[in-house]
Amino acid sequence: SAAEKGGYDYFMLKEIAEQPKAVADTLLGRIGADGQLTLDELRISDAQLRQVDKVVIVACGTAFHAGMIAKYAIEHWTRIPCEVEVASEFRYRDPILDDRTLVIAISQSGETMDTLMALRHAREQGAKVLAICNTNGSTIPRESDAVLYTHAGPEVAVASTKAFLTQLVACYLVALYLGQVRGTKWGDEIQSVIQELREAPKQVEQVLLTMEPVRELARSLADAKSVLFLGRHVGYPVALEGALKLKELAYMHAEGFAAGELKHGPIALIEEGLPVVVVVPSPRGRSILHDKIVSNIQEIRARGARTIVIAEEGDEAVAPYADHLIRIPVTPVLLQPLVSTVPLQVFACELATAKGHEVDQPRNLAKSVTVE
C-alpha cells in the first residue's frame, strides 16, 4: 500500500532514502565513548580471534560484492589472508578449512540456500562461522557460531540497497575490530577510521541530496543498449554492483570491470556513444591508482565513450574528461563504497522506471533465493 511505502512510489526509493538511518543504526552502540569498538555480541572470544589465520567470505549477489570490499579492508587492517567466493561455488571445490579459519557468511535475508550450504560445509570442516545478517532469528545466523546483525530494517524491494550499505558497515566493523584485537601497525589508522565511520550517515545523506542530475542522466539513457562500469581497488566491486543493479532492474546489458583489465580485452567494446560509468579512487593515499584511472578515462573517451565519472569532491584532474561528473564526499580510501554506491542505485532505479519497469518486483527474480 501507499502508506507502507511511506509516500514513495516504490519500496526501492524508500529504502534508498532510508540509508543514512540504516547506516547510523548499524553503527549504534558499537563504537564506545573511548573510540574503541565493542562487539560483545560476536560470541567469539578475543583469544579465538587472535588464533585466526585465514578469513573466508561467502555470499551471493549484492552481498558478495560487500564481501569483495570486505577483503580489501580485512587484509589491509588485520594482515590476515582473506578469500571471498560466491557461495554457490564454495563447497564444490573442497576448500581448505580448519579450526583457525574464520568464515564470514553475509546475507540480508538469512535464508539464501547457497550461502547456508556453504556455511554448513565450513562448520563440518571445523571452521568458525560468523554471520552478517539483516534478519533476526533467520536460518543463517541460527546455524552460525556468531552473528553481527545489520540494522537496515526490513528490505522489501528485490534489489538490495540499504542492506548493502549496512553490510559494508558490518564488514568494516569486523575488519577494524580484528585489527584492534590483534594489534597491527595500522593501530592509529584504525582509530581514525573508527572516528570517520561516525560521519558516514551524514555523508550518505549529502549524496542523496545531490541526485537530481543523476536521475536526469538516467532518463536520457533509457534507450542505451549497454552500459559499462569501471573501478579499481574498492571501486571495482562497486562497479560490479552498479552493473548488477542495472541488469536486475532495467534488463539491460551491463558489465563491471576492474579498470586495469580494460586493455586486456574489454576496451574492444568501446564505441561511439557507449555510456561508461567510472568510479574514481581518491587522489589522496593510493594516488597512483587515481592517475591510472584518469588515463583510462582519457583512453575510452578518445574512442567515443560517453564518460560518467563518480569522483571525490575537489578531484579536479578528472573534470576535463568527464561528460557527466557526479561528486561524492571525501572519505577514507576504504570507506568510499559507502558513498560511491548510492548514485549507482539511484541511476538504475530511475533508468528502469523510465523504461516502465516494475522496480520492486523485477521479472524472474525473488527477494530471497531459497533453492540451490
Output 115 or 180, the one with its CB closest to ligand AGP.
Answer: 115
Q: Is 248 in the site for ligand AGP (CB under 6 A)?
A: yes
Q: Are 107 and 163 in contact (CB under 8 A)?
A: no
Phi-psi region of 75 (alpha: psi -120 to 50; beta: other; left: phi over 0): alpha
Shortest Å, Cβ 141 to ligand AGP:
12
Torsion sign, CA atoms 110, 25, 68, 305: positive
Shortest Å, Cβ 108 to ligand AGP:
3
Shortest Å, Cβ 181 to ligand AGP:
27
Contacts of residue 296, Cβ cutoff 8 Å, sequence gap at least 6: 230, 259, 262, 278
Give the nearest residue (CB) to ligand AGP. Answer: 61
Q: Could you give the count of Cα atoms lying within 13 Å of 76 in the half-sphere of its Cβ? A: 19
* Cell triple for 240: 560490479
Taking CB under 6 A as the binding criterion, the range among 28-36, 61-69, 313-321, 332-340 that sits at the site for ligand AGP is 61-69
Output 63 or 262, the one with its CB closest to ligand AGP.
Answer: 63
Residue selected from 101, 108, 144, 341 as contacting ligand AGP according to rule CB under 6 A: 108
Question: Which residues sit opposite 147 in a β-bridge?
Answer: 131
Output 107 or 341, the one with its CB closest to ligand AGP.
Answer: 107
Q: Is 158 in the site for ligand AGP (CB under 6 A)?
A: yes
Output 116 or 181, the one with its CB closest to ligand AGP.
Answer: 116
Give the CA distances from residue 94 to residues 55, 62, 97, 270, 357, in Å, rounded to whole numbers and listed in that order: 16, 24, 9, 39, 41
Collapsed DSSP state (helix, strand, coil) of residue 146: strand
Which residues are annotated as catalytic?
367
Residue selected from 22, 60, 82, 310 as contacting ligand AGP according to rule CB under 6 A: 60
Shortest Å, Cβ 119 to ligand AGP:
11
Residue selected from 78, 160, 282, 307 as contacting ligand AGP according to rule CB under 6 A: 160
Q: Is 61 in the site for ligand AGP (CB under 6 A)?
A: yes
Q: Are 262 and 235 in contact (CB under 8 A)?
A: no
Shortest Å, Cβ 290 to ligand AGP:
29
Contacts of residue 51, Cβ cutoff 8 Å, sequence gap at least 6: 100
Q: Is 112 in the site for ligand AGP (CB under 6 A)?
A: yes
Residue selected from 63, 194, 207, 254 as contacting ligand AGP according to rule CB under 6 A: 63
Contacts of residue 368, Cβ cutoff 8 Å, sequence gap at least 6: 108, 109, 111, 112
Nearest one of 281, 286, 313, 285 to 297, comparing CA atoms: 281
Q: Is 166 in the site for ligand AGP (CB under 6 A)?
A: no
Residue selected from 146, 330, 354, 369 as contacting ligand AGP according to rule CB under 6 A: 369
Q: Which residues bind ligand AGP (CB under 6 A)?
A: 60-63, 107-109, 112, 115, 158-160, 248, 368-369
